[in-house]
Amino acid sequence: MLDVAVVGASGYGGGELLRLLARHPRVTLRRAFSETYAGKPLSAGFPGWAKQTDLCFESYGDGAAAAECDVVFLAQENGKAMEMAPRLLEAGCKVIDLSADFRFRDTNLYESWYKMPHAASEANKKAVYGLPEIYGEAIRSAPLVGNPGCYPTAAILALAPLLHRRVFDPESLIVDAKSGVSGAGRAKFSLDYHFPEVAENVSAYKIAGTHRHTPEIEQVLSDWVGIPLRVTFTPHLIPMARGILATCYANLREPVNTGDLITLYEEFYANAPFVAVVSDPPPATKHTLGSNMCHIGLAVDKRTNRVTVVSAIDNLVKGAAGQAVQNMNLMCGFAETDGLDFGGLWP
């Protein structure tokens, strides 16, 4: 059994990590760090933990306690992980960061989008982008993984097989995605996230290529296809707690029927335990709620010679904590499905 720690454990992503790690058959959840709830039981931050554990939140301090663990998950806001990761790596810990600090190979790209200097460029050279379906082999030997963003996970998984076939127009990629409110994090208190503003309302935000997940999507898709790609990405906020539905479009260079592309996707994800290619019913956020699954459906519009690909994930599981645990499994030589082998909640 390996000892694991979660830093930033009182946020939504950290809370989901606690839930998944507590039931994992190969690790012991040893420490949970939260400055907000330091010294208090887990139930102070998450009432559902009442009578489930004696574990209490701790203050991170100088990081010595975290460095005693075999695996450390960093689930804080952008800018924190780059301060903590170097010491943890020096101590021999495997580190999985849920922020954006280690998602970009080029730290200049990070700095231009996140408007802060990158303080750990040497550590960043060791980082692998944590999308197992694309970078699984590299993740196995990585000491540091930059866990993908939730929108990029849904978009990349939807488009990667199509790009593999290379029958698309590279100038035509469009990602239209909707996310539940938990995607903003637990500490988001701005007016846009008040109940009267969100309820019975759907709104686009960060339009026209201004969302920070845009360069992340482009980096991976460009890497995968071998040529620079640009994506039109538009995120939307919808009035539900969790879930992402991404509807992606691409123009086809040659006539291809729906059945051929479905076969392509099924073959591409044949060894991916957390990706299901579905048709009836088509993907919906309720189908993946609480699970580490990504459901993908697609169809070709012969009239316009365009393909539509729809993917659904739980933004807190496959889009965050579940994918982080999946990465840990690969890094530690566990079965990829350990601690994640359950379906979604229904209804």
Specify the CATH number for the domain of residue 303.
3.30.360.10
Residues 49 and 168 in one domain: no
Task: Determine the average pLDDT of the residues in 27-35.
Answer: 97
pLDDT over 90 at 193, yes or no = no
Is residue 336 one of the residues assigned to a domain? Answer: no
Q: Which of 70-74, 88-92, 271-275, 279-283 has the lowest mean pLDDT?
A: 279-283
Residue 280 pLDDT: 86
Range of the domain at 120: 2-125
**Band of residue 196 on the pLDDT scale cut at 50, 70, 90:** confident
pLDDT over 80 at 192, yes or no = no
Task: Determine the average pLDDT of the residues in 159-179.
Answer: 91
pLDDT cut 90: percent of the chain above it: 88
Closest CA relative to residue 55, chosen from 92, 101, 95, 6: 6
Query: How crowded is residue 292: how many other Cβ atoms within 10 Å of its Cβ?
Result: 25
Is residue 340 one of the residues assigned to a domain? Answer: no
CA angle, residues 33, 37, 39, in degrees to nearest 5 = 80
* Residue 19: partners with Cβ closer than 8 Å, 6 or more residues away: 321
The tens digit of pLDDT for each residue in 279-326 reads 988 999 999 999 999 999 999 999 999 999 999 999 999 999 999 999
Is residue 119 one of the residues assigned to a domain? Answer: yes
Residues 161 and 255 in one domain: yes
Residues 121 and 181 in one domain: no
**Band of residue 171 on the pLDDT scale cut at 50, 70, 90:** confident
Task: Determine the average pLDDT of the residues in 105-117.
Answer: 96
40, HSE (Cβ side, Cα atoms, 13 Å): 15
Is residue 334 one of the residues assigned to a domain? Answer: no
Question: Domain tally for the chain?
Answer: 2
**Band of residue 189 on the pLDDT scale cut at 50, 70, 90:** low
Is residue 137 one of the residues assigned to a domain? Answer: no
Is residue 143 one of the residues assigned to a domain? Answer: no
Catalytic residue among 69, 150, 248, 294: 150
Residues 110 and 180 in one domain: no
Residues 188 and 280 in one domain: yes
129 - beta bridge partners?
146
Where among 125, 142, 166 does a domain terminate?
125
Task: Determine the average pLDDT of the residues in 231-241.
Answer: 96
Is residue 140 one of the residues assigned to a domain? Answer: no
Residues 158 and 120 in one domain: no
Residue 184 pLDDT: 79
pLDDT cut 70: percent of the chain above it: 99
Find the farthest-apart pair of alpha carbons in the chain and give their distance in angstroms, rounded: 62
> Does 150 qualify as catalytic in the annotation?
yes
Residues 222 and 298 in one domain: yes
Residues 76 and 181 in one domain: no
Residue 188 pLDDT: 65
Q: Measured between alpha carbons, how far is 145 from 151 in angstroms, rounded to an integer?
A: 18
**Strand arrangement of the beta sheet that strand 27-33 belongs to:** 57-58, 27-33, 2-7, 71-74, 94-97, 144-146, 127-129
**Strand arrangement of the beta sheet that strand 174-179 belongs to:** 203-204, 232-237, 174-179, 244-251, 306-313, 294-301, 275-277
Q: Measured between alpha carbons, how far is 88 from 242 in angstroms, rounded to an integer?
A: 31
Residue with the two structure tokens 């009578």: 51
Return mean pLDDT, the chain. Answer: 95
Is residue 130 one of the residues assigned to a domain? Answer: no
Residues 177 and 110 in one domain: no
Residues 60 and 14 in one domain: yes
pLDDT over 90 at 332, yes or no = yes
Q: Measured between alpha carbons, how far is 301 from 121 in angstroms, rounded to an integer?
A: 45
Residue 225 pLDDT: 87
**Band of residue 35 on the pLDDT scale cut at 50, 70, 90:** very high
Residue 84 pLDDT: 97
**Band of residue 168 on the pLDDT scale cut at 50, 70, 90:** confident
Q: Measured between alpha carbons, how far is 295 from 301 in angstroms, rounded to an integer?
A: 20
Give the CATH number of the domain where residue 108 resides.
3.40.50.720
Residues 40 and 95 in one domain: yes
pLDDT over 80 at 187, yes or no = no
What is the amino acid identity at position 195? F
Residues 120 and 228 in one domain: no
Number of H helices, E strands in the chain: 13, 14
